[in-house]
Amino acid sequence: MSALTGRPVRVHVPATSANLGPGFDALGLALGLGDDVVVTPRGEGLRIDVEGEGAADVPRDERHLVARVLLATLGRLGVAPGGLHLACTNRIPHARGLGSSAAAIVAGLLAARALVDDGASRLGDAEVLDLATAEEGHPDNVAACLLGGLTLAWDDGGRTGVLRHDPDPGTAAVAYVPPGGVSTHEVRRLLPATVPHADAAANAGRAALLVQALTRRPDLLLPATQDRLHQAYRAPAMPGSAALVERLRADGVPAVVSGAGPTVLALVPAADAPGLAAAAPEGFAAHVLALRAEGATAAPA
């Protein structure tokens, strides 16, 4: 019979950028920015403290995304938690296309696994990925969050297949984050049910090229990040971001909409990143982010 260890755990979950241009719902990249959650078993009741991103908005009860996934996973493991205290330090902006919901889901899953004495043997990494994918609705962010690096994820007959690559060490990201967000769920509804064959064919070729460009041929990042499947359809919901992508690309900078947007991500030589961030247009907060090789971690707090 499984039981809580009774000891607190600390989970770190990285931000991720999905799609990266042509890799819609498949490619994900872990970034050097992340949330921390410390979960401490206590007598009874759920207490949630939040500082940083989303602190003014997220619920402080069972509807809180980390708590909801954590409690559901403990239930799946057959453990009644008594009480729990969650201390959340959030650095990933919400609803900006940097994988905050994927990070919250992965945090809940990994915390539950670490809180239970035989959690690691009962909930393997592949099952965590499957559960996270089911909760998020697409595998790209959760795969990169769990494994780190550049991930390629696919539906493998109901399971989630994943392949991980080390990103090119000389490449960094500049994230241009606008003040307002969009809900991923909402902007997924802007996508058409079918697309022209020529667009699908173009994206398939670019996505294959992008894996090479992001791992060992950064000189090919500009053609490799060209998308014809999602960015244009979502542009009306984020005209400022669409204009910034167009402007950067016209200047030869490999820029994409990060995830479902509206953040714009440029993938550039690390030495060029500070200058590009300094030239951010008014209204965008620019952050230079390393590409993170490590995935999410859970350890005793």
Ligand X SMILES: Nc1ncnc2c1ncn2[C@@H]1O[C@H](COP(=O)(O)OP(=O)(O)O)[C@@H](O)[C@H]1O
Binding mask 89-108 for ligand LJ64HWYM (x = CB under 6 A): --------xxx-x-------
Q: Any contact of residue 31 with ligand LJ64HWYM (CB under 6 A)?
A: no
Tell me the DSSP string of 251-276: TT--EEE-TTSS-EEEEEEGGGHHHH
SS (H, E, C) 104-151: HHHHHHHHHHHHECCHHHHCCHHHHHHHHHHHHCCCHHHHHHHHCCEE
Judged by CB under 6 A, the number of residues near ligand LJ64HWYM is: 16
Closest residue (Cβ) to ligand LJ64HWYM? Answer: 259
User: Could you give the angle at the alpha carbon of 15 between the alpha carbons of 66 and 21, nearest 5°?
Assistant: 125
**Pairing mode, if any, of strands 23-42 and 9-19?**
antiparallel
Burial class (CB in 10 A: 0-12, 13-18, 19+), 51: exposed
Nearer to ligand LJ64HWYM, 17 or 73 (CB): 17
Name which position in 170, 179, 180, 183 contacts ligand X (CB under 6 A).
183
Q: Any contact of residue 54 with ligand X (CB under 6 A)?
A: yes
Binning the chain into helix, strand and coil, the percentages to the nearest 5 are 35, 30, 35
Binding mask 201-240 for ligand LJ64HWYM (x = CB under 6 A): -----------------------------x----------
Binding site for ligand LJ64HWYM (CB under 6 A): 18-19, 24-25, 97-99, 101, 138, 140-141, 184, 188, 230, 259-260
Binding site for ligand X (CB under 6 A): 35, 54, 58, 64-66, 88, 90, 94-102, 104, 183-184, 259-260
